[in-house]
């Protein structure tokens, strides 16, 4: 879906607004202290926070969420934003009563991750495809993308196990190896098999039972993630 210049301008403005609100916010605490995403990676992905301050009209319902812009970079280096997704980090959803973070988040009346109305499925972090590398990783969801990229692996994310679209196939032509990082459960394996069936140069990398990329990183360090792809 091609966006109008007006829509792109609005999305870029919203992204900048949310960037200004992340410092010292619940989003920063969640990303850095709980997920282990370092400040440089937070900045690299332009992650923001929908706080109590100014919010563009129509996005008020996402207060208390990490703002996740889907970035693009043009041939001349100009940035644009194609979409924004929102990951809830409200304390009642992601924390225990004692203030510690939950692994089993509870989101009542709303999804853990929400897309804007009318949005379409997109690949997250297509900037990785522009890197000079003959290898790339594919994973499910934005947090695993942040984590894998932080470990130094060019990585794109697919938003959800059913998020792969036929036209994504051509973006991975020419890679020597496409690592498909499979979360350690049935849904993760199904996702990986679906993606791998579309890409001839792919290899499924199964993670340990109950673990995704982010949990592997937090439990065993970046070396555990790198070892999965032979680094």
Domain with residue 191: its CATH number is 3.40.1360.10
- Contact between 116 and 83 under an 8 Å Cβ cutoff? The reply is yes
pTM as predicted = 0.94
Give the pLDDT of residue 25.
98
Span 33-45, pLDDT tens digits: 999 999 999 999 9
Look at the chain and report how many structural domains it folds into.
2
Q: Which residues of the chain have pLDDT under 70?
A: 1, 75-76
Q: Residue 115 has what pLDDT?
A: 93
- Tokens (6 digits) for 100: 């510690």
Same domain, 13 and 110: yes
By C-alpha distance, which of 148, 143, 12, 24 is closest to 84? Answer: 12
Print the domain residue range for 14.
5-115
Residue-level pLDDT at 178: 97
Q: Give pLDDT, residue 75.
A: 66
Q: Do 147 and 173 share a domain, yes or no?
A: yes
Please say which residue of 88, 115, 142 terminates a domain: 115
**Are 58 and 139 part of one and the same domain?**
no
The pLDDT value recorded for residue 1 is: 63
CATH of the domain at 92: 3.90.980.10
pLDDT of the residue at 76: 66
- Give a yes or no: residue 121 inside a domain: no
Asked if 102 contacts 95 with a C-beta cutoff of 8 angstroms, the reply is yes
Boundary of a domain, candidates 86, 115, 144: 115
pLDDT at 3: 84
Name the one residue in this structure whose structure tokens are 């900048």.
Answer: 16
User: Which residues, in sequence order, are CB contacts of 122 under 8 Å at separation 6+?
Assistant: 70, 82, 83, 159
Q: Tell me if 33 is assigned to some domain.
A: yes
> What pLDDT shows up at residue 119?
85
């Amino acid at each position: 879906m091609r966006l109008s210049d007006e829509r792109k301008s609005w999305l870029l403005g919203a992204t900048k607004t949310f960037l200004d609100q992340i410092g010292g916010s619940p989003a920063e605490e969640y990303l850095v202290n709980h997920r282990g995403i370092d400040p440089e990676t937070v900045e690299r992905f332009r992650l923001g926070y929908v706080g109590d301050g100014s919010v563009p009209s129509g996005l008020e319902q996402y207060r208390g969420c990490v703002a996740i812009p889907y970035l693009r970079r043009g041939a001349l280096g100009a940035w644009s934003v194609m979409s924004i997704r929102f990951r809830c980090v409200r304390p009642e959803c992601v924390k225990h009563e004692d203030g510690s973070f939950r692994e089993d988040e509870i989101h009542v009346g709303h999804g853990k991750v929400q897309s804007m109305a009318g949005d379409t499925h997109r690949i997250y972090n297509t900037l990785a495809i522009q890197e000079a590398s003959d290898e790339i990783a594919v994973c499910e969801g934005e947090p695993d993308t942040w984590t894998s990229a932080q470990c130094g692996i060019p990585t794109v994310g697919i938003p959800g196990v059913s998020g792969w679209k036929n036209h994504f196939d051509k973006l991975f032509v020419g890679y020597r190896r496409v690592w498909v990082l499979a979360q350690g459960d049935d849904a993760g394996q199904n996702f990986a098999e679906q993606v791998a069936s579309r890409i001839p140069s792919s290899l499924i990398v199964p993670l340990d039972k109950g673990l995704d990329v982010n949990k592997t990183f937090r439990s065993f360090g970046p070396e555990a993630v790198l070892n999965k792809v032979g680094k």
